[in-house]
Chain A
Amino acid sequence: MTNPALDAQSLSLVAGLANPARRRDAASALATHIGADDLIVFVRDPEIGALLAAPGFQQTLPGGRAWRDFLTTCTNTRHHTAEVPWPEMGTVVRGLGLAVDDGAVLVLLGGSPHPAEAEALGLLLPLVAAAFRDERTALSAAAQATVARQAAAQARELAERLDSARRELQRELQTREDFLASASHDLKNPLTSIRGGAQLLRRHVERSDEVDRARLTRVLSQIEAITAQLASQIDEMLEMTRYRMGRPVDLEPRTTDLLELARRVADQHQQATEQHVIRVDGDHGSIVGRWDAPRLERVVGNLLNNAVKYSPEGGAIVVTVAREREDAAEWAVLTVRDQGIGIPKDDLPHIFDRFQRSRTVVGRIAGTGIGLAAAKQLVEQHGGSIAVDSAPGRGSSFTIRLPIAADGAEPARPSEAIHQ
């Protein structure tokens, strides 16, 4: 069904509105043509650049409806690129917006029927009314009071809207600052170890007559391990930054054995600590699904890093990999449990999403970096979830759940995953 507001005839009728002598006739012809009871016309003023109510037309929507509401809900809109001469204002108006809704037609000469225009319309109405008062007949005292009241109410509403936008922006800036501070902290720790390790060796070589080869090998291996960790942290940061700008990472799901993955990551982390014993429990055997293995390694690595870091007295770190059935769906469940210092209760609700937009989190949670936020993002992109259970002095337990065989595909045999 074509709407008459959108055809060529309505366009020529709108052009007729520009002529003051023919205005009344053109307006009623346009209203009849479109089938509207109310015709509201705004023209962009060439000097101030804003949309002003055209003289002789009503300025408010029927029933006192808000402009924003009208322009947001209105589905019959059209934007012409036509040029309409408007001699009264000494201008040629470029562009023509039409919006028809609920028996009212809004004509925006030099505007587009977009909700953003509503701000300008709402704000300028009292000013326009005041201009009328000067140019035409004086308004009654009661009418002036009404205009003043409306202006005050609109100013208040606008101030509130500005204030909430400012608060929102401040929150976003704070989140960004926290993200940068965490990112820089995360990068500077490994850099310190690399620089320190190299200087330690230089001092040793300069000062000793006999080079301690075992020490050289140990520190160099450590530096190597830390550079690998640093590279993975940089990838993580880039992905998190892109994700925050609304561009999720492209996962590359491959047939992956989660138990084998957990054992591999646990082995790597075991090499970096003598105080901790990292054990992998996989009583259910291999659990195979289609996941992005390198990114899951990073997630599990993050959890193990935290477990080691926050168990300064050493002790056991247990990784369990199990299968769970819930209704028709099967889940792979991986848990990393430590006996460390735990997480304060106040930090728990924010620990995964401190860097999400518009989240009000005061201050930063020291030392956990961006790893957990990145882990949550990656696990959720797999269609899974991440959860934490912790109390100060009682250790922490992180659990990730991943769907097995998403779109009903048959999981591959474990042997295939290991040898692929």
Chain B
Amino acid sequence: MTNQPRPVGADDQSPSILVVDDDPAIRQIVSEVLMEEGFAVTTAADGLQAIRRSADQPPALVILDMTLPLMNGYEVAAALRAAHGRALPILTITADGGAAAKAQRVGAFAYLRKPFDLDDLVAAVQRCLQDD
């Protein structure tokens, strides 16, 4: 289980997706499926890592778990938008109640509830990045 797997089929032109979740197994599964679809992926386990890891390559899209240690999902979303622009698309992931309300507060383009379907995740990401 490597932290930053080599993207398969992704090149420098591939849109980069930032995956923020404090559960290592979920980070890995989401990374694998997105890389299979040809995206470049960066992962982070908390808000500080998310900000640091996205500094060099601004993400085209963020997949954000709303329950995180130290900084919560709202704070992380605000910090990422401050760094990469207000238009940064965010897909929120929620494990407990209020998924829709949380997504709306963050200004997310879509949201998923755990345990989510990988096909739904891929479809939402593709729709968002193709619309651009």
Residues of chain A within 8 A of B29, CB atoms compared: 192-193, 196-197, 200
- Which of B25, B68, B114, B116 lies in contact with A366, CB distance below 8 A? B68
CB contacts under 8 Å to A, within B29-65, are 29-30, 32-33, 36, 44-46, 48-49
- Which of B23, B25, B72, B117 lies in contact with A199, CB distance below 8 A? B117
Segment among A100-108, A157-165, A306-314 that sits at the interface with chain B: A306-314
From A189, which residue of chain B is reached at the shortest CB distance? B23
From A184, which residue of chain B is reached at the shortest CB distance? B96
Given A192-B115, A366-B67, check contact A200 B33 (CB 8 Å): yes
Interface centre among B3, B23, B69, B117 (most CB of A within 10 A): B69
Q: Would you give the shortest CB distance from A146 to chain B, in whole angstroms?
A: 54
Q: Would you give the shortest CB distance from B2 to chain A, in whole angstroms?
A: 7
Q: Flag if A275 contacts B118 (CB, 8 Å).
A: no
Contact indicator per residue, chain B 91-117, by CB within 8 Å of chain A (1) or not (0): 000011100000000000000001111
Q: Flag if A310 contacts B95 (CB, 8 Å).
A: no
Size range of the interface on A?
Answer: 20 to 34
Given A188-B114, A274-B1, check contact A196 B30 (CB 8 Å): yes
Residues of chain A within 8 A of B72, CB atoms compared: 366
Cα distance A314–B44 in the bound complex, in angstroms: 12
Cα distance A367–B1 in the bound complex, in angstroms: 22
Residues of chain B within 8 A of A181, CB atoms compared: 96-97
From A271, which residue of chain B is reached at the shortest CB distance? B1
From B119, which residue of chain A is reached at the shortest CB distance? A199
Given A200-B32, A341-B48, A367-B67, check contact A192 B114 (CB 8 Å): yes
From A194, which residue of chain B is reached at the shortest CB distance? B115
Contact indicator per residue, chain A 367-392, by CB within 8 Å of chain B (1) or not (0): 11000000000000000000000001
Size range of the interface on B?
Answer: 20 to 34
Cα distance A113–B129 in the bound complex, in angstroms: 75
Residues of chain A within 8 A of B30, CB atoms compared: 196
Does A203 sit at the interface, judged by CB under 8 A?
Answer: yes
Does B70 sit at the interface, judged by CB under 8 A?
Answer: yes
- Count CB-based A-B contacts (< 8 Å): 92
Does A68 sit at the interface, judged by CB under 8 A?
Answer: no
Residues of chain A within 8 A of B48, CB atoms compared: 341
Q: Would you give the shortest CB distance from B124 to chain A, in whole angstroms?
A: 15
Residues of chain A within 8 A of B36, CB atoms compared: 203
Does A195 sit at the interface, judged by CB under 8 A?
Answer: yes
Cα distance A312–B22 in the bound complex, in angstroms: 8
Q: Flag if A226 contacts B67 (CB, 8 Å).
A: no
Cα distance A310–B48 in the bound complex, in angstroms: 12
Q: Flag if B23 contacts A341 (CB, 8 Å).
A: no
- Which of B1, B44, B114 lies in contact with A312, CB distance below 8 A? B44
Q: Flag if B114 contacts A203 (CB, 8 Å).
A: no
Q: Would you give the shortest CB distance from A392 to chain B, in whole angstroms?
A: 7
Contact indicator per residue, chain A 288-322, by CB within 8 Å of chain B (1) or not (0): 00000000000000000000111011100000000
Cα distance A272–B24 in the bound complex, in angstroms: 9
Given A200-B33, A203-B118, check contact A193 B23 (CB 8 Å): yes
Does B26 sit at the interface, judged by CB under 8 A?
Answer: yes
- Which of A222, A274, A312 lies in contact with B2, CB distance below 8 A? A274
Q: Flag if B118 contacts A188 (CB, 8 Å).
A: no
Cα distance A53–B109 in the bound complex, in angstroms: 69
Cα distance A310–B24 in the bound complex, in angstroms: 10
Does A273 sit at the interface, judged by CB under 8 A?
Answer: yes
Using A181-B96, A273-B24, A275-B3 as known contacts, list a sample of 19 further A-B pairs with CB atoms less than 8 Å apart, ordered by residue number in A.
A181-B97, A188-B95, A192-B95, A192-B116, A193-B26, A193-B29, A194-B115, A195-B116, A196-B26, A196-B29, A200-B29, A272-B1, A310-B69, A312-B44, A314-B3, A341-B48, A344-B70, A366-B72, A367-B67
By a beta-carbon cutoff of 8 Å, the part of chain B in contact with chain A is 1-3, 22-26, 29-30, 32-33, 36, 44-46, 48-49, 67-70, 72, 95-97, 114-119
